[in-house]
Chain A
């Protein structure tokens, strides 16, 4: 149900458990702890064992909003086919370096895919920019994003994985923060399917004037410093493991629910036996 134990976490879990939850569970289950229970007790034990990296609060708020939207979508009977995911992962870039000019910005980013498991099939992947602006300004731009996978020096000389996508960025006066979501599914799908534990991307972002007149004045180009903050990676996945909720369970799972024929025969026998004494007839 919960993440598989990595060796480090397993070691932490098998240390002398001092947490009440694990004490109450271990004697009953001992070595037959199911995967679900083991991860549950590790999370409970591992509380102080290792420092936990905390994500930026803006991304926590973004994911809480996505959580609420998914709950609403999940409850609707006519929920759209778009909600086929049962897992969404937001991964912040690890190390980054940036070159920026008036019209463009070049970012060298790496993302850890350590927590993405083999049973999690990629449905959609998005580069998520969070732009903070002062409310006085408004802008509109047509931007183009070029993304390329940076192969390690040891591997291929030049990278063949390359993708380009155009998108519009517009902001009215009143908004303070803008989320820009750029779909890179077709580019990332083969990379993630290869189950690499880390991906290294070179992103080149250029923005031109939008060329549209709004209210008689030319809209300003989006200031490139807004793109200073590197994008996070948002992965929509379908976890096919047993612990994850499947919207369309496999036929094997629903098969076991049908009452067996044996039961009906046995019950009719039981009912006839319990109607009253057998009137002195003893059956061999």
Chain B
């Protein structure tokens, strides 16, 4: 249904340099995943925000990886090995390459309260590695 599609549909234009496809592909894309800190069993410690969307990367790494995802040489070589020489060598993986920080409010074990801004909490771009 439309609602389910919304949950699993990729984030609009997550890889800034990737051309827009009219038809859905299962290529490497960025997806939303809203989670609450109580689900992560961290709500006794992180009191704000209640929920957050770390996002995740999922999909197959296409051959034209470098132009789409800025992958390094090694990734292209590994893909050639996988396709032409030895398929036991794994295919390159679709993983996050850029992140955004997140501000949280924490209750420390001694009862003090801390506002912290942590790096690399939200994925914003995917790559193949």
**Chain A positions near chain B (C-beta within 8 angstroms):** 1-3, 9, 19, 21, 40, 43-44, 46-47, 50, 52-55, 59-60, 63-64, 66-67, 70-71, 74, 86-92, 112, 114-115, 239, 242-246, 259-260, 262-263, 266-267, 270
Contacts and interface: CB of A to CB of B under 8 A. Distances in A.
B113 interface: yes
B109 interface: yes
Interface string B115-127: 1111110000000
Interface stretch (B1-9, B20-28, B51-59, B66-74): B66-74
A60 B47 contact: yes
Given A21-B41, A242-B119, A243-B119, A67 B108 contact: no
Nearest to A94: B110
Contact of A74 (B45, B103, B113, B114): B103
Interface residues of B, number: 30
B103 A71 contact: yes
Nearest to A259: B70
Nearest to B45: A43
A142 B117 CA distance: 37
Given A86-B117, A245-B119, A3 B108 contact: yes
Nearest to A249: B119
B123 to A, nearest CB: 15
Contact of B115 (A52, A55, A63): A63
Interface string B72-91: 11001000000000000000
A87 B41 contact: no
A115 B108 contact: yes
B40 A67 contact: no
Given A44-B42, A89-B112, A263-B66, 16 more contacts: A21-B40, A47-B41, A50-B109, A52-B107, A53-B111, A54-B111, A55-B111, A59-B113, A66-B115, A67-B105, A88-B114, A114-B110, A115-B114, A239-B116, A244-B117, A267-B66
Nearest to A266: B73
B42 A40 contact: yes
A87 B108 contact: no
B101 A245 contact: yes
A115 B110 contact: yes
A239 B111 CA distance: 20
B114 A89 contact: yes
A270 B76 contact: yes
A53 B119 CA distance: 27
Contact of A244 (B110, B111, B118): B118
A182 to B, nearest CB: 19
A44 B41 contact: yes
9 contacts: A1-B119, A43-B45, A50-B109, A55-B113, A63-B113, A64-B48, A89-B112, A115-B114, A243-B120
Contact of B105 (A52, A53, A63, A245): A63
B115 A53 contact: no
Contacts of B107: 52, 54-55, 60
A131 B16 CA distance: 51
Contacts of A91: 112
Contacts of B112: 55, 89-92, 112, 115
Contacts of A115: 108, 110, 112, 114
